Structure 1
Amino acid sequence: MPFTRRDFMAASAGFAASTALGLKPRMAHAQLALGEIRLDVVSDGSLTLPGGFIFDTMPKDALAPILEKYDLSAEVLTPPCNVTLMRSGKRVILFDVGSGPDFAPNAGEIVTSLEALGVTPEDVTDVVFTHAHPDHLWGLLDDFDDPLFAQASYMIGKAEWDYWMNPNTVDEIGDARASFAVGAQRRLAAIEDTITLFNDGEEIIPGVAARATLGHTPGHMSFEVRDGSNAVMILGDCIGNHHVAFEQPAWISGSDQDGEAAAKTRVDLLDQLAAEKTQIIGFHLAGDGIGHVEKSASAYTFVPGEKA
């Protein structure tokens, strides 16, 4: 369905009512240790989305029992925004930077969340982007349109960079997402002189390998953080929720720019993650985003929490 920032604002008109149901942003924080690597998951708040943003492309009769199972509204969704902070040696690395103040009214909390850990924007040495959608990128600039993380170097997949920086993207992406392209180009241009581009399979930081997980955007990347035989996969939005993406990963989601490619990515990745018993961190997965994947005869399940 067509979806714009206006839809966020309209859906947020009912946000006060949703808080009565416990659907309010919170300062999520969880931590994983992977050898000498420390991973913290902090909150950028949450989004308030019209349910149709995801569900309109899906068969309504088959969708209904999934909504009931997970106690979901078909009208409004409030997914969390879970940002991953990695500390390894002297490096302080952020995977995505959240929304900033200009996209969603109940997001943009990353600086406050980092401060709770004693981390300031000036402490961040590296910023790695999964993709350039607003809730992952628009927190890049401060109130003066300067990079908020002033001491950081920046990394993004080459295909993702090329897509959003292509001047034709604004005209070709469609009216519903044209503002996404304008916003991405403005912010990425601000760091053009300090950005490093990478490709699938490259080790971008010691212990961190890029994994192409295409479809949600044309160059979407996930990141495998590994210490010996132990690994954590930072997913971004390639698996974008804890419910229908696991129950029916082959269904086309309205949130994905290339629905068919994204569905194939989900099916293949869920199969791999379940087989390898890899821990995951999902930007919009329930709670703090940490968990693992289990496979049943007909579906997958997100199991939240750190594995024993």
Structure 2
Amino acid sequence: MSLSRRDLLAGAAVAGAAATLSPLMSTADAAAPTAGAQAPGFYRYKVGAYECTSINDGANTFPMPDGFVKNLPKEQALAAAEAAYMPKGMVTVPFNPQLINTGSKLILIDTGNGVANLEPSKGAVGRTLQNLAAAGVDAKAIDIVLLSHLHPDHTNGIRAADGSIAFPNAEIMVPAKDWEFWTSDENAAKAQSNPMMKNYFANVKKTFAGIETKVTRYDWGKEVAPGITSISTPGHTPGHSSFAVASGNSKVLIQSDVTNIPEFFLRNPDWHVLFDVDPAVAQETRHKFYDMAAAEKATVVGFHFTFPSIGHVEKDGSKYRLIPSAWNPTI
């Protein structure tokens, strides 16, 4: 049986007529009143013997700023957003920390925007703690907080709403090169004329004030936690790091911010996002990383991929495309 345009229009007319016959019906009269909230945002997946969980910190939708893509006209970036069905004139950036349960350690990779931003953002971001709890994880049980780099949307979740440490029993691990860059008074002084960079330096100072003794610096190419090896992926920041999580014969690549939203910067790896400290190096890193991921047919997890943020990357000429993984109800 096939439906014609006439059939569809007729059906719409009947539905409209039915609505007009009950003008006094309200939401309160409905059998199932609207809930007004999303379900908890967590998704489990397996890497060998490890149980991993993608934790949704939220998604921020905002008017696309001038220079969001630095090396092409704004109109072209807006067209890419429209092609990705984002709200007109806007751009949406998701945030997804990852929890790795090795059996002996609970490791949280990145922490999100921080619960202090939950109310000011009207629930858009800052959901990591509540979604960890929904997933059955007590923040006090986290053994390691493993940071890919020191931008606010990855570090601010270290602090609870009252400013205390959200993960009081965790060792905090940071990339040595990023720590060196962002804690340098000389670098901070050079950044005073750039409002975004000025804010980043100030945020690092505020976030880590008084907890320096809990911070361990790690280098690239090392096993930084059981089954987790750090990968050199600079450009977004000087010490930006990705991770290979391996157990048995299984492996996933956690790409952190090698790309920001994939609809823009994975499809167009030569575009320069506003947030990259060294755009040329970030561009080179994207090609190297995605060539490797595509050649290995590796599962890739992206901090700024649409939740649950898991998929595969394929080469598409000189560009790449993301193939989201199918939802697995049984992990």
Aligned CA-pair RMSD: 2.2
What TM-score, normalized to structure 2?
0.80
3-state SS, counterpart of residue 78 of structure 1: strand
Alpha-carbon distance, 1:307 to partner: 9.2
- Which residue does the alignment assign to 1:154? 172
Among 242, 245, 262, the residue aligned to 2:262: 242
Unaligned runs of 5+ in 2: 1-36
3-state SS, counterpart of residue 96 of structure 2: strand
Taking a change above 3 Å as real, the CA distance of residues 300 and 26 of structure 1, as seen in their structure-2 partners, is farther
Alpha-carbon distance, 1:73 to partner: 4.7
| CA displacement 1:236-256 (0-9 Å, x = unmatched) | 111111212122101222121
- Which residue does the alignment assign to 1:184? 204
3-state SS, counterpart of residue 148 of structure 1: coil
Among 32, 55, 58, the residue aligned to 2:69: 55
Q: Distance in 2 between matches of 1:78 and 1:261?
A: 24
- Which residue does the alignment assign to 1:80? 94
| Residue 33 (1) aligns with residue 46 (2) | yes
CA contact (8 A) 1:247 1:300 kept: yes
Which letter does structure 1 place at the counterpart of 2:283?
A: A
Q: Distance in 2 between matches of 1:31 and 1:241?
A: 22
3-state SS, counterpart of residue 280 of structure 2: helix
| CA displacement 1:215-244 (0-9 Å, x = unmatched) | 111111111001244211111111111212
Structure 1 residue runs of 4 or more that deviate by more than 6 Å after TM superposition? none
Taking a change above 3 Å as real, the CA distance of residues 49 and 238 of structure 1, as seen in their structure-2 partners, is farther
| Residue 198 (1) aligns with residue 186 (2) | no
Which letter does structure 2 place at the counterpart of 1:112?
A: Q
Q: Distance in 2 between matches of 1:62 and 1:159?
A: 34
| CA displacement 1:76-113 (0-9 Å, x = unmatched) | 11221111001011311100111114457121111110
Taking a change above 3 Å as real, the CA distance of residues 273 and 58 of structure 1, as seen in their structure-2 partners, is same
Q: Distance in 2 between matches of 1:68 and 1:141?
A: 35
Which letter does structure 2 place at the counterpart of 1:31?
A: R
Alpha-carbon distance, 1:175 to partner: 2.2
Among 156, 181, 190, the residue aligned to 1:172: 190
- Paired residues for 1:215-230 under 5 Å: 215-230=235-250
Q: Distance in 1 between matches of 2:177 and 2:254?
A: 19
3-state SS, counterpart of residue 244 of structure 1: helix
3-state SS, counterpart of residue 57 of structure 1: coil
What TM-score, normalized to structure 1?
0.85
Unaligned runs of 5+ in 1: 1-23
| Residue 89 (1) aligns with residue 109 (2) | no
Q: Distance in 1 between matches of 2:239 and 2:88?
A: 29
